[in-house]
A and B are shown apart, each in its own frame.
Chain A
């Protein structure tokens, strides 16, 4: 355990030193405060709009940003150390591969989690003082927790990438493709399936397909509870056949644990 914490501590401090924590926090804070206050600007009014609109717009932005940030933060975790030779050296230390991986995960995961909590939490607190509505805290609570899980999931996915390639530049390329597939292409494909193939999938089937993509689970978690007039596309269909929040959260947690376990497995098999 001590070894894991030593590695986690180093990774966390790397995140602080590289200004990752501060910049992600700022991006999230600006984004959420901006959307909260100016989300209704299109309809001519400035000021706090409805809670559901705010969460809906935050969620649709976060779903692109968080995976991208997590992938950027972690894609070179292993391949970078392999290139500089420190990976081989670390493995001659009394430190197991899973300890090293978990240590990195805890360190970088803390950066993502803390930035999400501080960034989005800031606007939740601001909104709460403006409106005094306790629904705000619970809606933001769900949003923040699912956003953290989404970030952790993509951190684990980027370890898979980082452990499977042998060059840093390749890892960067794969990270970009991964982001594109999960955040954009997957939904387009679903939509095409819905529209193009008559009676191709049932509502049930669609929701199950969505479990294959952590970003869609994140969307479902945050949009299911909202007025469906704020939601459109494939999601609206899926929401009607909605799963319970507990099921959705379990699916998100699974999307953290499964890639992480697979990453440990790949690391153990990796030739040095």
Chain B
């Protein structure tokens, strides 16, 4: 009985000669936050457009809330979908409130809701000013307010944190968490950004229209088999010198270029840590698992090794 909110079955989109997206299969459940990563031309925006129903797939099937989103019958679903495009500059000569009221009305809501949303994103103070006087961050907040109209069940956000200051970014992620706990699903599309990890349930990594990897962060880490970086630290000068190098259980993990840094596979982590704890002169240990950015880099470089440099200039 758990039908996914969004499902793509071997969906592809080709423009003339170019495969913007090829044979993509994925699904998104209610209340799930999916991170969609890939650099420019990877097919992120094409995938979003397919889900939004603005374009139709050239092959395969796309379903949103149980219907093909490009069908006329699926239109009533559109008021339950919020979208923040990557590059949008709203009507410059209108005030923030006028812009948001226009969009709210098109979704069947009133000016009152528009004011509430502006409050939520924190630009009430500027709502009577023309958009052309807004800073990049304020415009982005206005765009987010637009995407949040009508408490959407599905949100597609393309580069949502571009131009936001750290506080606004934190507020933004708070809103995402809140929407998630209300049962909304979110697709966050971005270059890999620090801080996004805690807020997504799953990540998808795309490159030149193909799916490279998909899963929770720990699944991806396992797939990538990236080592954990462990740094034993001693405050005394030369305190650990030799101790690690002489230990036959540890010296295998030592890196060549950097002294006292061990690269340890995930499953060996605890064993190595126990060994290290036994060493004399140890004051502190730094343990760092591979972060999303490293996982992303790993999959991309692996992909490039398999498929040497294709010429491609895709749709963003």
Q: Which residues of chain A have a CB within 8 Å of any CB of chain B?
A: 3, 6-7, 10, 14, 17-18, 84-86, 88-96, 271-272
Shortest distance from the beta carbon of A264 to any chain B beta carbon, whole Å: 15
- What residues of B have a CB within 8 angstroms of the CB of A17 in the complex? 93-94
Closest to B86 in A: A85
Q: Which of A14, A89, A96 contacts B85 (CB 8 A)?
A: A89
Question: How many angstroms between the C-alpha atoms of A90 and B85 in the bound complex?
Answer: 11
Contact present for B88 and A89 (CB under 8 Å): yes
Contact present for A89 and B83 (CB under 8 Å): yes
- What residues of A have a CB within 8 angstroms of the CB of B61 in the complex? none
B55 located at the interface, meaning its Cβ lies under 8 Å from any Cβ of chain A in the complex: yes
Shortest distance from the beta carbon of B15 to any chain A beta carbon, whole Å: 8
Q: Interface readout for B82-93 with A: 1 if CB under 8 Å, 0 if not?
A: 010101111101
Contact present for A86 and B78 (CB under 8 Å): no
Q: Interface readout for B5-32 with A: 1 if CB under 8 Å, 0 if not?
A: 0000000000100000000000000000
- What residues of A have a CB within 8 angstroms of the CB of B269 in the complex? none
Q: Which of A3, A85, A94, A271 contacts B88 (CB 8 A)?
A: A85
- What residues of B have a CB within 8 angstroms of the CB of A91 in the complex? 54
- What residues of A have a CB within 8 angstroms of the CB of B106 in the complex? 3, 6-7, 90, 93-95
Q: Which of B78, B102, B146 contacts A10 (CB 8 A)?
A: B102
Q: Known contacts being A3-B106, A86-B90, is A94 close to B78, with CB within 8 Å?
A: yes
Closest to A91 in B: B54
B52 located at the interface, meaning its Cβ lies under 8 Å from any Cβ of chain A in the complex: yes
Closest to A99 in B: B106
Q: Which residues of chain B have a CB within 8 Å of any CB of chain A?
A: 15, 49, 52-55, 72, 75-76, 78-79, 81, 83, 85, 87-91, 93-94, 102-103, 105-108, 146
Shortest distance from the beta carbon of B154 to any chain A beta carbon, whole Å: 11
- What residues of B have a CB within 8 angstroms of the CB of A10 in the complex? 102
The number of A-B residue pairs with CB atoms under 8 Å apart is: 59
Closest to A103 in B: B106
Shortest distance from the beta carbon of A90 to any chain B beta carbon, whole Å: 7
> Can you offer 10 A-B residue contacts whose CB atoms are under 8 A?
A6-B102, A14-B93, A17-B93, A85-B87, A88-B88, A91-B54, A92-B78, A94-B76, A94-B106, A272-B49
Contact present for A92 and B88 (CB under 8 Å): no
Question: How many angstroms between the C-alpha atoms of A86 and B91 in the bound complex?
Answer: 8
Contact present for B83 and A84 (CB under 8 Å): no
Of A10, A88, A90, A93, which is in contact with the most chain B CB atoms at under 10 Å from its CB? Answer: A93
- What residues of A have a CB within 8 angstroms of the CB of B108 in the complex? 94
- What residues of B have a CB within 8 angstroms of the CB of A18 in the complex? 93
Question: How many angstroms between the C-alpha atoms of A17 and B132 in the bound complex?
Answer: 15
Closest to B91 in A: A86
Contact present for A92 and B52 (CB under 8 Å): yes
Q: Known contacts being A6-B106, A85-B85, is A92 close to B93, with CB within 8 Å?
A: no
- What residues of B have a CB within 8 angstroms of the CB of A85 in the complex? 85, 87-89
- What residues of B have a CB within 8 angstroms of the CB of A90 in the complex? 106
Contact present for B52 and A86 (CB under 8 Å): no
Shortest distance from the beta carbon of B131 to any chain A beta carbon, whole Å: 10
Contact present for B102 and A272 (CB under 8 Å): no
Q: Known contacts being A85-B89, A86-B91, is A92 close to B102, with CB within 8 Å?
A: no
- What residues of B have a CB within 8 angstroms of the CB of A272 in the complex? 49, 54-55
Closest to B92 in A: A84
Question: How many angstroms between the C-alpha atoms of A14 and B102 in the bound complex?
Answer: 12
Shortest distance from the beta carbon of A9 to any chain B beta carbon, whole Å: 9
